[in-house]
A and B are shown apart, each in its own frame.
Chain A
């Protein structure tokens, strides 16, 4: 789906003028933003189904969210620091 999109974008960019391209980019930005909001809303709806379970787990959920966000972020930075230094 992503590859099809990229190909479509490449073809469109060849056909359209620079001004039309910029305008299309703006509209695409708005549409992707709207879709992002819809998806986040759905994730919220789905989360409500497991909310009692999430609250029951309490500290474990907090630990999991913090670990899944912080550890990959720190390691990505650390590895790129080492790689780019050498």
Chain B
């Protein structure tokens, strides 16, 4: 579903992705972790070309993302993305947030868009808030709406860029629950997160990135958490810091 071959990216003279390659199959849930500054967020944003790359190839469902001739809006409309800071549109109601791209991008009629959007809103348990503005919702609720917004577009894959990092601790659970449900349904997901509980519970594979944009590990969840002694020193150091003692 997603294939990345030898991708490198620079901001000026600073290299932020260094020869990254990875593969995500349909239905897989892959967690990307690593210290800040390791390029995780940049990496996930290259998949829908929010961040362009200077070298390498990225393929999503057979579409060449790195190719300048590719119709990026069309590709992006099929790739759902959830951001650290939710990025709901504050000037639109929850319902309008859910329907605007369906109508303007996918060309759905208002009724169809609304029906689909509200179905997704129900799924994240927020039907009662459909007429509110994002500013009237808690962080956890906003992020659930953001997930519903992405799902309304019927994506073939979902990208999560630190979806719980900006949340108060007591709101992390409600967002993760939605994500666990999605994974259980077979959604292909790539998740940048420090939530190792989530990684352990639902991921198939774990990718570990280190400063400078290197992919240091790309291994099955069981191997990653079950055989810590076999991990790279940098990975062990990182895991020792963030796993509960």
Whether chains A and B associate is: no
